[in-house]
């Protein structure tokens, strides 16, 4: 398609991460001249600075300096995945403030590709129940779509992303289009057998992860290759062994010749044209030069990660929309959700001393939700799943130094791999709550002039009860499986820390109570779409990113039809 007259681009996508990358790929492949704006610094696939660094080439052998944490990563370091090897992929907390009305740990990326570069690659479909839960128990807004609306779009995105997994035929965790699973090891098989015998209705399966166990032509032609099970993925992976926007969607978009990608571009506002009643484009600040730019397009896709998207939308004010573009209802910024996280258990499996493995498993195991599926069984609503796995501890860690022993015998004992440990942690579904919200500070701004976001989000009683059960059930299963020294944990944890934030621009049927319609399209501004986690009306208990991508692809397909028929 030739660039639409009077516009700089056909489509603008804000954000180049999990959702934005996919939107860009879809628009570009359909022939639209597409501009992707990302606040992050540029990143080059195949040029990840710490990828091949062994510990002895790191200044402090991979330990982060406490002063550096205090100065730059005081929020990020409290969350997942930040180490000396990966810290440059996380945002500098000092330079990017926000206000915690209530404690909230906002994890953000610092580069193009967003959090798709640093994610843990766990990829599960939602089930039928997930889309019906709000309607059934009355919490939150009823989704305007159901599983069957999305299933074809999972089918569409999964092969491109490349997800390894086993076919299990479970209602609670629908199968997808899988590459071969990463095999369970001997201890995982033993625990699985015990759980499935002692706890009827529960299952333990190989984790479904976005790793290329058997790359297909669709991956190879993009330069992606087989995963080498190094499990150092957060540094970046030149093999493209795991999916990221930088190894997958962005190169696919680029090869069409339709992509323009601008890094260091902090989007501040979606511009509204009162004459047409549509979004006319974007205002952004070049964070290097400080210059303000305006670009126009026929359609705008918001994919700046849930809270990032909301911040921009709320800052997009006009006479018509003083509280944020498309926000006559006042629901923008409401129903912020993050998973319940921070409870589980671990233990030691005696025996199997002569079993070992080659490679570091980047996946592990998954125990799908088993609570409240057919009927309400517990004193809380909805449910959770477990992730984890078994490995033999390497003795090379501080704990090892806690054990006594010196000299030749100590050294020789350290050559034997440690005992088998099995551990699980869990993610659970929170209830959507109107009062959990984010909004903008009236006057405080960041160095580029963007109003600061205030978080006012907290877990409730349902979450506390669920979390207790996450620990208790884990302990029961691990004990039954014959593990020793079983220790359960239930740590206090602020939202955000679960790194799965969603909501704030929820999809719904009624423009009075929701922000988007069933196509991720603003109820009020027809050429404005939100396809990241902000669109979510509830959160299931599975990791969300694959669903972000499925919804994004579906929304682009719809926008394409509307563009072609001249409706937007």
Partner 1 sequence: MGNLNRREFIAGLAAMLGTAAMTPGLANAVNIGLTFKPSGSNIIFSEQQMMLVARIADIIIPATDTPGAIDAGVHLYIDHIAANWMNKQESNRLLAGIDKIDADAKAKYDSGFLALDNKIQIAIVQALDDNLAQEPAYKMLKTYTVTGYYTSKIGMTVELNYDPIPGPYKEIPLSDVGKAWS
Ligand X SMILES: Cc1cc2nc3c(=O)[nH]c(=O)nc-3n(C[C@H](O)[C@H](O)[C@H](O)COP(=O)(O)OP(=O)(O)OC[C@H]3O[C@@H](n4cnc5c(N)ncnc54)[C@H](O)[C@@H]3O)c2cc1C
By CB under 6 A, what part of segment 207-226 binds ligand SF4?
A: 211
The enclosing H or E element of 278 equals strand 278-286
DSSP per position, 185-231: -HHHHHHHHHHHHHSTT---EE--BSB-SS--HHHHTTT--------
Q: Specify the DSSP class assigned to residue 118.
A: T
Q: Please give the size of the binding site for ligand SF4, defined by CB under 6 A.
A: 13
Q: Which of 4, 229, 456, 518 binds ligand SF4 (CB under 6 A)?
A: 229
**506: its two tokens:** 């929820």
Q: Cβ closer to ligand X: 12 or 204?
A: 12
Q: Which of 10, 11, 15, 422 binds ligand X (CB under 6 A)?
A: 15
Quick one: which segment of 41-49, 57-65, 268-276, 428-436 binds partner 1 (CB under 8 A)?
57-65
Q: Is residue 245 within 8 Å of residue 222, measured between CB atoms?
A: no
Does 353 contact partner 1 by CB under 8 A?
yes
Measured at CB, which residue is nearest to ligand X?
17
Q: What does the per-residue mask of binding to partner 1 show for 247-286, with x meaning CB under 8 A?
A: ----------------------------------------
Q: Which of 15, 144, 333, 362 binds ligand SF4 (CB under 6 A)?
A: 362
Does 37 contact ligand X by CB under 6 A?
yes
Does 237 contact ligand SF4 by CB under 6 A?
yes
Rounded Cα–Cα distance for residues 51 and 567 (Å): 47
Q: Which of 404, 443, 565, 566 binds partner 1 (CB under 8 A)?
A: 404
**Sequence-distant (≥ 6) Cβ neighbours of residue 379 within 8 angstroms:** 465
Which residue has tokens 């709550």? 433
Three-point CA angle 460, 464, 468, nearest 5°: 170
> Rounded to a whole number, what is the largest CA-CA distance in the chain?
82
Q: Which of 4, 83, 231, 328 binds ligand SF4 (CB under 6 A)?
A: 231
Q: Cβ closer to ligand X: 118 or 474?
A: 118
Does 545 contact ligand X by CB under 6 A?
yes
**Sequence-distant (≥ 6) Cβ neighbours of residue 516 within 8 angstroms:** 505, 506, 507, 508, 522, 523, 529, 530, 535
Which residues, listed in sequence order, are joined to residue 334 by a DSSP beta bridge? 504
Q: Cβ closer to partner 1: 62 or 511?
A: 62
Q: Which of 26, 38, 338, 524 binds ligand X (CB under 6 A)?
A: 38
Q: At its nearest, how many Å lie between partner 1 and the CB of residue 241?
A: 10
Q: Is residue 213 within 8 Å of residue 181, measured between CB atoms?
A: yes
Which residues, listed in sequence order, are joined to residue 341 by a DSSP beta bridge? 427
Rounded Cα–Cα distance for residues 532 and 521 (Å): 12
Does 499 contact ligand X by CB under 6 A?
yes
Q: At its nearest, how many Å lie between ligand SF4 and the CB of residue 390?
A: 17
| Residue 169: exposure state from Cβ atoms within 10 A (0-12, 13-18, ≥19) | exposed
Q: Which of 232, 311, 315, 455 binds ligand SF4 (CB under 6 A)?
A: 232
Rounded Cα–Cα distance for residues 28 and 257 (Å): 8
Does 239 contact ligand SF4 by CB under 6 A?
yes
Which residue has tokens 């579906």? 554
Does 83 contact ligand SF4 by CB under 6 A?
no
Does 108 contact ligand SF4 by CB under 6 A?
no
Does 233 contact ligand SF4 by CB under 6 A?
yes
Q: Which of 117, 227, 270, 331 binds ligand SF4 (CB under 6 A)?
A: 227
Nearest to 263 by CA among 37, 46, 110: 37
Residues that bind ligand X (CB under 6 A): 14-20, 37-40, 80-81, 107, 109, 114-116, 118-122, 265-267, 303-306, 308, 312, 499-500, 532-533, 543-545, 548
Residues that bind partner 1 (CB under 8 A): 52, 54-56, 59-63, 65-67, 182-183, 185-186, 213, 226-230, 353-362, 392, 394-398, 400-402, 404-408, 410-412, 414-418
């Amino acid at each position: 398609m030739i660039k639409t007259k009077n516009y700089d681009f056909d489509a603008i996508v804000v954000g180049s991460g999990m959702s934005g990358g996919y939107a860009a790929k879809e628009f570009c492949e359909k022939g639209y001249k597409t501009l992707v704006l990302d606040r992050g610094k540029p990143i080059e696939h195949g040029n990840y600075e710490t990828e091949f660094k062994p510990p002895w080439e790191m200044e402090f052998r991979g330990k982060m300096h406490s002063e550096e944490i205090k100065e730059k990563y005081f929020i990020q370091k409290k969350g997942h995945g930040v180490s000396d090897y990966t810290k440059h992929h996380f945002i500098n907390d000092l330079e990017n403030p926000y206000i915690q009305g209530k404690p909230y740990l906002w994890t953000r990326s610092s580069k193009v590709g967003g959090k798709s570069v640093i994610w843990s690659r766990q990829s599960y479909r939602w089930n039928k129940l997930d889309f019906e839960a709000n309607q059934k128990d009355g919490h939150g807004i009823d989704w305007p779509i159901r599983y069957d609306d999305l299933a074809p779009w999972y089918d569409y995105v999964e092969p491109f992303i490349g997800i390894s997994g086993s076919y299990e035929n479970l209602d609670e965790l629908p199968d997808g289009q899988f590459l071969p699973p990463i095999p369970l090891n001997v201890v995982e098989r033993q625990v699985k057998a015990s759980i499935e015998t002692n706890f009827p209705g529960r299952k333990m399966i190989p984790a479904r992860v976005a790793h290329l166990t058997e790359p297909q032509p669709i991956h190879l032609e993009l330069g992606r290759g087989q995963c080498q099970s190094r499990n150092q993925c957060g540094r970046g992976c030149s093999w493209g062994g795991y999916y990221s926007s930088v190894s997958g969607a962005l190169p696919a978009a680029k090869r069409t010749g339709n992509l323009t990608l601008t890094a260091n571009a902090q989007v501040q506002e979606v511009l509204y044209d009162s004459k047409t009643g549509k979004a006319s484009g974007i205002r952004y600040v070049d964070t290097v030069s400080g210059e303000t730019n305006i670009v126009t397009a026929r359609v705008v896709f918001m994919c700046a990660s849930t809270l990032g998207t909301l911040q921009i939308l709320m800052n997009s004010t006009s006479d018509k929309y003083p509280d944020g573009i498309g926000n006559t209802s006042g629901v923008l910024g409401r129903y912020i959700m993050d998973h319940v996280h921070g409870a589980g258990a671990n233990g030691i499996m005696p025996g199997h001393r002569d079993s070992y493995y080659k490679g570091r498993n980047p996946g592990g195991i998954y125990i799908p939700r088993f609570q409240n599926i057919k009927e309400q069984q517990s004193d809380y609503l909805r449910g959770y799943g477990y992730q984890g796995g078994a490995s033999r501890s390497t003795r090379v860690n501080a704990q090892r130094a806690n054990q006594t022993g010196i000299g030749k015998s100590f050294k020789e004992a350290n050559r034997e791999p440690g005992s088998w440990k099995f551990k699980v942690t869990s993610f659970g579904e929170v209830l959507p709550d109107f009062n959990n919200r984010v909004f903008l500070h009236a006057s405080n701004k960041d160095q580029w002039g963007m109003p600061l976001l205030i978080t006012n989000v907290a877990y409730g009683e349902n979450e506390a009860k669920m979390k207790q059960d996450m620990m208790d059930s884990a302990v029961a299963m691990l004990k039954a499986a014959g593990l020793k020294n079983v220790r359960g944990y239930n740590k206090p944890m602020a939202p955000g820390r679960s790194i799965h934030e969603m909501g704030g621009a929820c999809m719904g049927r009624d423009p009075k109570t929701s922000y988007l319609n069933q196509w991720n399209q603003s109820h009020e501004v027809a050429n404005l779409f939100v396809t990241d986690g902000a669109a979510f009306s509830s959160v299931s208990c599975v990791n969300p990113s694959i669903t972000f991508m499925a919804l994004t692809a579906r929304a682009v397909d719809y926008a394409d039809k509307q563009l072609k028929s001249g409706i937007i």
